[in-house]
Amino acid sequence: MRTNDFQDHIYEKYDGSNFQLRLLEVGCGVGNAAIPLLDINPSLFITCIDFAASAIDILSNHIKEKNISRMTAHVCCIVNNPLPV
Protein backbone atom coordinates (compact mmCIF):
# COMPACT_ATOMS: atom_id res chain seq x y z
CA MET A 1 0.00 0.00 0.00
CA ARG A 2 1.40 3.36 -0.99
CA THR A 3 1.46 6.13 1.60
CA ASN A 4 -1.23 8.24 -0.08
CA ASP A 5 -3.69 5.41 -0.91
CA PHE A 6 -5.53 6.04 2.34
CA GLN A 7 -5.55 9.79 1.72
CA ASP A 8 -6.87 9.24 -1.81
CA HIS A 9 -9.67 7.06 -0.43
CA ILE A 10 -10.68 9.66 2.16
CA TYR A 11 -10.66 12.49 -0.37
CA GLU A 12 -12.61 10.45 -2.92
CA LYS A 13 -15.25 9.29 -0.45
CA TYR A 14 -15.68 12.64 1.35
CA ASP A 15 -15.52 15.35 -1.26
CA GLY A 16 -16.91 18.03 1.06
CA SER A 17 -20.21 18.53 -0.73
CA ASN A 18 -23.15 19.58 1.43
CA PHE A 19 -21.86 18.43 4.79
CA GLN A 20 -19.09 18.87 7.32
CA LEU A 21 -17.27 15.97 8.90
CA ARG A 22 -16.36 16.20 12.57
CA LEU A 23 -13.55 14.28 14.19
CA LEU A 24 -12.60 13.97 17.85
CA GLU A 25 -8.95 13.08 18.19
CA VAL A 26 -8.19 11.71 21.64
CA GLY A 27 -4.51 11.90 22.52
CA CYS A 28 -3.71 14.38 19.77
CA GLY A 29 -0.33 15.48 21.09
CA VAL A 30 0.90 18.45 19.05
CA GLY A 31 -1.36 17.67 16.08
CA ASN A 32 1.02 15.76 13.83
CA ALA A 33 -1.78 13.43 12.69
CA ALA A 34 -4.67 15.90 12.73
CA ILE A 35 -3.23 18.80 10.75
CA PRO A 36 -2.51 16.75 7.60
CA LEU A 37 -6.11 15.49 7.67
CA LEU A 38 -7.30 19.10 7.36
CA ASP A 39 -5.09 19.53 4.31
CA ILE A 40 -6.68 16.64 2.44
CA ASN A 41 -10.28 17.25 3.46
CA PRO A 42 -11.69 20.78 3.30
CA SER A 43 -15.00 19.74 4.94
CA LEU A 44 -13.37 18.35 8.08
CA PHE A 45 -13.51 19.98 11.52
CA ILE A 46 -11.32 18.45 14.24
CA THR A 47 -11.61 18.75 18.01
CA CYS A 48 -8.28 17.71 19.53
CA ILE A 49 -7.88 16.68 23.14
CA ASP A 50 -4.90 15.56 25.17
CA PHE A 51 -4.16 15.40 28.89
CA ALA A 52 -0.73 17.00 28.36
CA ALA A 53 -1.14 20.76 28.72
CA SER A 54 2.28 21.35 27.14
CA ALA A 55 1.21 19.53 23.95
CA ILE A 56 -2.06 21.48 23.78
CA ASP A 57 -0.14 24.75 24.27
CA ILE A 58 2.07 23.93 21.28
CA LEU A 59 -0.91 22.90 19.16
CA SER A 60 -2.92 25.97 20.18
CA ASN A 61 -0.03 28.24 19.21
CA HIS A 62 0.25 26.47 15.86
CA ILE A 63 -3.50 26.89 15.29
CA LYS A 64 -3.18 30.63 15.95
CA GLU A 65 -0.01 31.12 13.91
CA LYS A 66 -1.38 29.26 10.88
CA ASN A 67 -4.89 30.74 11.30
CA ILE A 68 -6.51 27.30 11.32
CA SER A 69 -10.25 27.78 11.73
CA ARG A 70 -11.34 24.14 11.48
CA MET A 71 -9.59 22.86 14.59
CA THR A 72 -9.86 23.38 18.34
CA ALA A 73 -7.53 22.05 21.03
CA HIS A 74 -8.39 21.32 24.65
CA VAL A 75 -6.70 19.86 27.69
CA CYS A 76 -8.88 16.95 28.72
CA CYS A 77 -8.51 13.63 30.49
CA ILE A 78 -11.26 11.39 29.14
CA VAL A 79 -11.28 9.39 32.35
CA ASN A 80 -12.00 12.35 34.66
CA ASN A 81 -13.44 15.13 32.49
CA PRO A 82 -16.44 15.54 30.19
CA LEU A 83 -15.59 15.70 26.51
CA PRO A 84 -15.50 19.24 25.02
CA VAL A 85 -17.86 18.47 22.13
Q: Give me the pLDDT at residue 65, please.
A: 96
How far apart CA 39 and CA 50 sit, in angstroms, is: 21
pTM above 0.85, yes or no: no
Taking all residues of the chain, what is their mean pLDDT, rounded to a whole number? 82
19 pLDDT above the threshold of 90? no
Contact 83, 49 (CB under 8 A): yes
Q: Give me the pLDDT at residue 10, please.
A: 44
Specify whether the backbone of 29 is left (phi greater than 0), alpha (psi in -120 to 50) or beta: left
